[in-house]
Structure 1
Amino acid sequence: MKIAIVGAGIGGLTAAALLKEQGHEIKVFEKNREIAEAGAGIGIGGNVIDKLGKHDLAKGIKNIGQIIDVMEVLDEKANVLSKAKLKKNTVNLTMTRQGLLDVIKSYVPDSIIYTNHKVKRVDSGALKVELHFAEHQSEAFDLCIGADGLHSHIRSTIAPNSKILYQGYTVFRGLVEDVDIKPDNIAKEYWSSKGRVGIVPLLNNKAYWFISINAKAQDARLKSYGKPHLQARFNHFPNEVRQILDKQSETEILLHDMYDLQPLKTFVYQRVILLGDAAHATTPNMGQGAGQAMEDAIVLANCLGAYPFEEALQKYDKLRVKHTKKVIKKSRKIGKLAQLSNRPLIALRNKIAKLIPNQLVSRQTKFLYKAKSK
């Protein structure tokens, strides 16, 4: 089968690697001149590693990943609010976004990746789909996979009523080197009325950090923030936070407003299907954005390998739409709780959080591991 994949990100390249192995004729189209990830650190949960099974890609990801098995939430004075142990007998990993993309790309032949190919129009029919490019000749395919991210052109073409929703906060991110985080198996978040600070260990004495601050979309004041502004705002936080910000370079701080996608009712539109953020963009509060994109690719490949074409697409739709909707809503809910700025509500939230048994907190992510892969 001749398959077009629009978008050479984490989900698109995972799909390319797995579908190429099945013998399909794959072409990956990327609108940019280079294949790169705009981001700092990333987590890949055991739910993804488990679904990859014995595939060599799982080994490649493990080789670059720092094992994380505890998620800890603290207040600004370092009092523990909750401590969740991640699922036993599985591996949860953190790494740089570019590192993950590079590993996945190593399983995709360069010859099937076409950069600087911007899709201008998509014509989908019952038997074929035709892609029209801004600067290249049109081409017909048996299937088109839209994996072109939150602001997907493919999605806006086939599902024009889809809605991107701003969630009320913006996030600063960065990577630091030469840090000694002990123990290195715990990812931490500090919650306060001024914002939320996350610190996530990576391999080789590196760490990924993020700071979430409530703001209007495209807030001009926060866009002007640099390292000194963040240091001043969080100067009363524990030493660990201050030391991480001290290590951060002045010029490599990223800033992105946080959006998710109003859940879609289907990811399948005749010969065009959606995958990853194009299908179900979510806030990063569960650390599942990239993981769910990879799961999409795994499930799609499994379904195409196990069922007749039409049935395979229906099965993919059935398995992924409902599951990713739950991820979007749960992540959105966590974000709203974590981003509280009203002090009495924060005090109440923290009091309740301390009373909830850690075992119950740990069970909140159990559904991620129960999702079927075909």
Structure 2
Amino acid sequence: MNHNQSNLPTTKLVKKHVFIFLEIFTCEGGIQSYVKDIFQAYNYLNQSQSYQAEVFLLRDELEQQNPYATEQFQFHYLKTLPPWRGRIKLALSLLTCLLLRRPQRVYCGHIKLATLTKTLCQALGIPYTILTYGKEVWDTLPQNQRQALQQAASIWTISRYSCQRACQANQIDPNKVKILPCVVDGSIFTPGNQPLELIEKYGLRDAKVLMTVARLWSGDIYKGVDVTIRALPKILHSFPNVKYLVIGRGDDRSRLEQLAQDLGVAQQVVFAGFVPTEALVDHYRVADVYIMPSQEGFGIVYLEAMACGKPVLAGDADGSADPLQDGRLGWRVPHRDPDAVATACLEILQGNDQRCDSQWLRRETLAKFSQEALKEQLQQLLASES
């Protein structure tokens, strides 16, 4: 061997990735929050790894303040009217990228984009991964989307429950599914005193406060706000000072208000409407209990509440098993059962369970679902698929 050659510097192999999403910046929601956490983790890993990625966003316009864009992490905004023109633009832009850059892997960020991803990637011999979240893959999909899942090199999803539902409904090999869970920013969601201005604003002085953060859409009644309202009369027998703070907006609010009126608990239910993300932490601090007997793919809100040291109640047959660590950190009850919800709330309000210990709850939550944990898990997934 030529000893001079052995001393030459080695060049790191650049791993090229492509990500495709519907929309991340033009609306807020659990999926958008989750994807942004992935972006942040990817950028962090890029400081020590040689990654190069391009992100295609079908319904987003140019984002002037995109904090994730770097020279190695480029974004393409493809929103075009009419929408069909945007889909054509996406197909052509993606095909050009795949032909010229030949990435090691394509990450498809929504099942609605899976057929296009499969078609282009298989034609060019490029492996692809599909990201799934919850209800969008829990039932049997159209054949083209089902085949895209079945033929993907891998599938990422956010919880064991979502994995199980998707695999059963669409004949997917569970071995190709990898779990990349949601996480919470423990530097933002922290315990603190109840903000007096919110206590006054919502009329919560001397009250025990139950709280839910959820969309109040008629198509989302699975969130369980109506079940919690039905549980209030039983709770009020033991805790007459209970108030239920409901954060969120949507077309189902009038039905819920009428339900509270019919049950004689309208004075106990406070509809706060929309609260921006930056104000949520103060609202969690107002609460004594976070309650959402729902059917979630995961439930980031449970992590946010527990990071703020608040005990939580969730459904017992959904993805909330992961953030609640199978009931070790919170209460899990049949999600459409007001009596079960009331019984669990009474236990929580008595405060005798370890799951009501604010410091312990926060510590155990962040040990598994912090942004640091996400970086490690993402690194392992990317390494296993390189």
- Which one has the bigger strand percentage? 1
Do they superpose with TM above 0.5? no
TM bucket, shorter chain: 0.3 to 0.5
The structure that has the greater radius of gyration is: 2
